[in-house]
Structure 1
Amino acid sequence: MGIMKKFSLEGKVALVTGGSYGIGFAIGSAYAEAGATIVFNDINQELVDKGIKAYKEAGINAFGYVSDVTKEDEIQSMVAKVEQEVGIIDILVNNAGIIKRIPMIEMTAAEFRQVIDIDLNGPFIVAKAVIPGMIKKGHGKIINICSMMSELGRETVSAYAAAKGGLKMLTRNIASEYGQFNIQCNGLGPGYIATPQTAPLREEGHPFNSFIIAKTPAARWGTPEDLQSPAVFLASEASDFVNGHILYVDGGILAYIGKQP
């Protein structure tokens, strides 16, 4: 097989959770360009319709489903429906997630649990639902959207950092437990990416915007497009011997101590 063919996703079915916009949409679009059939879910019909429209405008025939990643019965039902209507899932991207920027002592336990439930329990529930089909097919790719907060702490993100640190270890454990079935589970760790979620932090004159640019060797925020090629690599045959790895796409932040004041 030629080297470029190893990056092809032709004939694969890819499920991207929360894939109607932002990073999920960017990854889904890249997978479609690489030849995959795109399936995505979101929390309500409005977001699913928004995603279907966005994919259609990009020339992509995607399949959208309403389901909550924290509800095991809904996810099991959705995966069964996808297998019946589209095909067994070859690629899973656990992208759905939230962040609550609240100082720890002001955060309620309920708010903490909500972040953990969506950002950590959700990937467990969805991975658990798709792994049997991957075992049946004899191959599978699971990509968990981790974060630099899998490695670092910062003010106001205690729940998010705890969830993403847990997701890093869930990634390694899935790799350990199911690698024998030719299933590779890796993490994709975005740096600070320009999305609707980070828009308030990127406003002109916002001190956090200047801080991130100064802390990033690339001297800019990342874009969803920066994540597309790494995501294709982790979903393709080119990464068949890469398992339990977290690929950080952060412009070099994790490698950099920062400029001397």
Structure 2
Amino acid sequence: MGRLAGKVAIITGAARGQGASEAELFVKEGAKVVITDMLEDEVKQVADTLNAQFGDVALGFKQNVAEETEWQETISKTIAKFGKVDVLVNNAGITGITPKKPEDYALSEYEKVMAVNATSNFLGIKYVVPEMKRIGGGSIINISSLAGIVGMGGFSGYSASKGATRLLTKGAAVSLGADHIRVNSVHPGFIETPMISDYTDNADIKKGIEAKIPLGYMGKPEDVAYAVVFLASDEARFVDGAELIIDGAQSQNV
């Protein structure tokens, strides 16, 4: 049996990149998945592909994670389809704007990044917890960023949102421990996904980034997905309130 056999997971931001990789690996490990994204056609295609390969294991649809009512709908659709929720992966996120100094941010730009990257995680936790309590526990995994640990020049709004996710995780872990609901955060460094294609598609920029990573290369989506599977599994039953950095030791390279 797979490491996630019998579990049902919601994974946001799963149309491509890390989210799609997480969905595929979850299914391979025995889980059923509800995957959402603003890219409606793409996320449905990911679900269709998984169903064609593994049977009736996936449901995909559009969700704006910053909207409260859409979280309520996502939980309702998940229960209607699969009967429960064991795992929530708050994976959806945006970098926001092109690099600029804090004084050049428009308030609307800052608020959008905070809504998608941080408020959405709060909403996901708020609405999934009652269902997890109903079945006696669960695992919530918030995808933060290396930028939630150290500063990221030019992206102060993104750093703020990911830092908020980091501490939301810790507060929720303390609050929900007695309910056997574990809450952990994952902090990827540079992972080759469409989100950072402006960097990875430029050979000179990519080479410069990789020079700062002791392992000498950027990560792949599956490097994050394997860690998320561990945190979702019963193997991590005593891992709670933790922050897992996946960056090839970049953050240690001073």
Q: Shorter chain as normaliser: what TM range? A: over 0.9
Structure 2 counterpart of 1:55, from 50, 59, 67: 50
For 1:170-189, what per-residue CA distance to the aligned partner results, in whole angstroms no more than 9, with x for missing partners? 00011000011111000111
Q: What is the TM-score when the length of structure 2 is the normalising length? A: 0.93
Letter in 1 for 2:223: D
Letter in 1 for 2:59: F
User: What is the rounded CA distance, in whole Å, between the counterparts of 1:223 and 1:146 in structure 2?
Assistant: 16
Between stretches 161-170 and 228-237, larger displacement belongs to: 228-237
Cα distance, 1:160 vs structure 2: 0.5
| Number of the residue aligned with 2:171 | 173
Structure 2 counterpart of 1:227, from 219, 224, 242: 224
| Number of the residue aligned with 1:34 | 29
User: What is the rounded CA distance, in whole Å, between the counterparts of 2:31 and 2:203 in structure 1?
Assistant: 41
Structure 1 counterpart of 2:75, from 36, 59, 79: 79
Letter in 1 for 2:50: Y
| Number of the residue aligned with 2:245 | 248
Letter in 2 for 1:45: E
Cα distance, 1:56 vs structure 2: 4.5
User: What is the rounded CA distance, in whole Å, between the counterparts of 2:201 and 2:40 in structure 1?
Assistant: 31
Q: Which runs of 5 or more structure 2 residues have no equivalent in the other structure?
A: none
Cα distance, 1:230 vs structure 2: 1.0
For 1:115-149, what per-residue CA distance to the aligned partner results, in whole angstroms no more than 9, with x for missing partners? 00000000110111101011111110000001000
Structure 2 counterpart of 1:146, from 144, 147, 157: 144
1:68 and 2:68 matched: no
1:9 and 2:4 matched: yes
Letter in 2 for 1:129: Y
| Number of the residue aligned with 1:215 | 212
- How many residues align? The count is 251
Cα distance, 1:64 vs structure 2: 1.0
Structure 2 counterpart of 1:122, from 95, 98, 120: 120
Letter in 1 for 2:84: I
User: What is the rounded CA distance, in whole Å, between the counterparts of 1:230 and 1:45 in structure 2?
Assistant: 26
Structure 1 counterpart of 2:162, from 164, 174, 186: 164
Letter in 2 for 1:234: L
RMSD of equivalent CA atoms:
1.6
SS at match of 1:16: strand
Q: What is the TM-score when the length of structure 1 is the normalising length? A: 0.91
Cα distance, 1:211 vs structure 2: 2.6
| Number of the residue aligned with 2:186 | 188
| Number of the residue aligned with 1:93 | 89
User: What is the rounded CA distance, in whole Å, between the counterparts of 1:221 and 1:45 in structure 2?
Assistant: 28
User: What is the rounded CA distance, in whole Å, between the counterparts of 2:177 and 2:61 in structure 1?
Assistant: 29
